[in-house]
């Protein structure tokens, strides 16, 4: 290397070294560095065209070139200034300024569970809920047991928040009526409630829930239960949607039973809807006792609001009672009729109608007016050719008569006469199950003494039916039960 070349290299090195920042300066600025990756040319230069748009690699040539870089014969680009365009352009919404789906769900969950630290409970469930294997392998002595996720002491949280979060996310953003535009950040939760919990959304989701299997129904009905508990103004809307879904179940079950070969649709289960109505009844009872102000400011408003909610529940029950219980028909197909319809059976029919009976009796104890109304409706709509429904109508009648007796009330005389006239016809039924259920009701000595001891014509009517059964019924077991009940009625004379 010649001397001039060595001198040039030394000068270049000196120039680069003098222009480089000092080590102290670099260390001081490292603390404020936000990103590890190097900035690109367009991030550092922030080159904009005359319209105010950031240039990309494709339109970088719009900036123009220096005269030295322009090739001969290349025409220069002429810019057209578009006056007033930016003034009338709609402002683009920044995605960072809008809430995402997870944030909206968490905000609404905090609204539905005000007494629960939602984020803390979710973290506990994530840490202690499931045991993840094949992630870390420890010796047995090194394993530290993580306590399972605890329930809050208040007792409000009786569900799995992770499942609740997943169900609410699916219901809000997985349906056809999902909100297309996300609200902005710092939107109050009351506004989020108005945006997402609309009557149309409630009706759509309630109808979608009943089409699912029973386990999926319970997860989504938990969302409806939480809304019913914490948002009193939405209770009429939710129960109206439940009544509409019950009507859809009633029509669907009837069509499937009439056209089994052509409909191609399976029966849907009604257990999820019954469980939801039972929880709604529990909320109404609790608020009527401890928080009556949620129904109104005056006694008349409170009474009318509670009566309206109870009427909506009974409207749904009247539709569900006449619907097929659905459920696991294959599991119950091998059972005989005695086992399937026994009161203590675990079949779909027995468990479904038992839940209905418990809900009806609960309503009668809370609002006797609605209990009497339901009994009048049953006597008017008494099934003549549906043995299964007739069997459970007898069971419901006995339950309502017993419920009124326990709370110290009596049905009107005309209702009692019509009820025992129906029971008389069922005692003499040729179907074994119906006759057995009616005779079992007559075997309740306390019930018979309350309703028949002071009414001789009605007592003689029932005694005559039992005596005829004891002598001429085709089934030996029915003859034995009828004879025992007849002897008991003689003691009331």
Tokens coding 489: 């009625």
pTM: 0.74
In a domain, 163, yes or no: no
In a domain, 454, yes or no: yes
In a domain, 248, yes or no: no
Count of domains observed in the chain: 1
Q: How far apart are CA 287 and CA 275, in angstroms?
A: 19
| Cβ atoms within 10 Å of 178's Cβ, excluding its own | 12
Tens place of pLDDT for every residue, the chain, 493 residues?
555 555 555 555 544 444 445 555 555 555 544 444 444 444 444 455 555 555 555 555 555 544 444 455 555 555 555 555 554 444 444 556 788 999 999 999 999 999 989 888 888 888 765 443 333 333 444 434 434 434 333 334 467 899 999 999 999 998 766 666 888 988 999 999 999 999 999 999 999 999 998 888 999 999 999 999 999 999 999 999 999 999 999 998 877 665 554 444 577 889 999 999 999 999 999 999 999 999 999 999 999 999 999 999 999 999 999 988 865 555 555 567 777 888 788 888 889 999 999 999 999 999 999 999 999 999 999 998 888 899 999 999 999 999 999 999 999 999 999 999 999 999 999 999 999 999 999 999 999 999 999 899 999 999 999 999 999 999 999 999 999 999 999 888 7
Q: Name the residue among 131, 166, 165, 161 with its Cα closest to residue 148.
A: 131
Q: How far apart are CA 135 and CA 244, in angstroms?
A: 49
pLDDT tens readout for residues 132-146 = 333 333 344 443 443
Give the max Cα distance, the chain. Answer: 140
pLDDT tens readout for residues 27-43 = 555 554 444 444 444 44
Helix (H) or strand (E) holding 264: none
- In order of 56, 75, 475, the CA distances from 64 in angstroms are 14, 11, 106
Q: How far apart are CA 485 and CA 435, in angstroms?
A: 13
Helix axes 368-380, 387-406, angle to 10 degrees: 150
In a domain, 359, yes or no: no
Phi and psi, residue 106, nearest 5°: -65, -40
Tokens coding 417: 């006469």
Domain that holds residue 428: 396-493
Give the ranges where 324-367 is alpha helix by DSSP (H): 329-332, 337-341, 348-366
DSSP 94: P
In a domain, 67, yes or no: no
In a domain, 308, yes or no: no
In a domain, 478, yes or no: yes
Tokens coding 377: 């409706």
Phi-psi label, residue 296: left if phi above 0, alpha if psi -120 to 50, beta otherwise: left
In a domain, 192, yes or no: no
Phi and psi, residue 184, nearest 5°: -75, 165
Q: How far apart are CA 425 and CA 348, in angstroms?
A: 27
425 touches 468 (CB < 8 A): no
DSSP 80: -
269 touches 214 (CB < 8 A): yes
Q: CA end-to-end span of the chain, whole Å?
A: 137
């Amino acid at each position: 290397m010649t001397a001039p070349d060595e001198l040039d290299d030394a000068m270049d090195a000196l120039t680069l070294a003098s222009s480089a920042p000092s080590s102290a300066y670099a260390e001081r600025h490292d603390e404020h560095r936000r990103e590890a990756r190097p900035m690109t040319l367009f991030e550092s230069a922030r080159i904009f065209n005359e319209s105010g748009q950031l240039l990309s690699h494709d339109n970088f040539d719009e900036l123009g070139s220096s005269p030295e870089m322009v090739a001969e014969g290349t025409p220069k680009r002429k810019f057209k200034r578009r006056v007033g365009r930016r003034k009338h352009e709609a402002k683009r919404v920044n995605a960072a300024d809008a809430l995402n789906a997870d944030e909206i769900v968490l905000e609404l969950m905090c609204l539905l569970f005000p007494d629960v630290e939602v984020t803390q409970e979710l973290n506990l469930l994530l840490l202690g809920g499931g045991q993840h294997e094949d992630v870390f392998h420890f010796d047995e002595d090194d394993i530290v047991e993580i306590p399972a996720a605890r329930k809050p002491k208040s007792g409000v949280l009786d569900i799995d928040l992770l499942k609740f979060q997943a169900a609410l996310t699916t219901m809000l953003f997985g349906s056809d009526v999902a909100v297309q535009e996300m609200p902005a950040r710092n939107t109050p939760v009351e506004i989020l409630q108005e945006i997402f919990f609309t009557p149309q959304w409630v009706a759509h989701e309630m109808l979608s829930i009943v089409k699912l299997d029973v386990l999926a129904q319970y997860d989504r009905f938990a969302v409806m239960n939480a809304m019913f508990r914490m948002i009193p103004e939405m209770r009429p809307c939710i129960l109206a949607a439940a009544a509409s879904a019950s009507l859809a179940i009633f029509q669907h079950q009837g069509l499937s039973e009439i056209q089994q070969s052509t409909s191609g649709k399976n029966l849907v289960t009604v257990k999820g809807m019954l469980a939801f109505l039972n929880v709604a009844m529990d909320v109404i009872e609790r608020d009527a006792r401890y928080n009556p102000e949620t129904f109104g400011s005056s006694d008349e408003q409170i009474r009318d609001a509670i009566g309206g909610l109870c009427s909506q529940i009974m409207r749904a029950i009247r539709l569900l009672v006449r619907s097929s219980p659905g459920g696991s028909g294959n599991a119950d197909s091998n059972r005989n009729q005695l086992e399937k319809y026994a009161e203590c059976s675990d079949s779909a029919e027995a468990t479904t109608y038992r839940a209905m009976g418990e809900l009806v009796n609960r309503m009668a104890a809370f609002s006797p007016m609605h209990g009497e109304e339901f009994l009048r409706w049953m006597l008017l709509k008494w099934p003549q050719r549906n043995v299964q429904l007739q069997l459970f109508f007898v069971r419901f009648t006995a339950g309502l008569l017993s419920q009124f007796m326990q709370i110290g009330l009596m049905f009107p005389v005309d209702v009692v006469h019509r009820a025992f006239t129906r029971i008389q016809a069922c005692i003499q039924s040729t179907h074994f199950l119906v006759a057995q259920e009616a005779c079992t009701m007559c075997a309740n000595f306390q019930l018979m003494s309350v309703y028949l001891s002071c009414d001789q014509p009605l007592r003689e009517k029932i005694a005559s039916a039992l005596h005829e059964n004891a002598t001429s019924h085709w089934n030996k077991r029915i003859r034995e039960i009828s004879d025992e009940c007849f002897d008991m009625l003689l003691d009331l004379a």
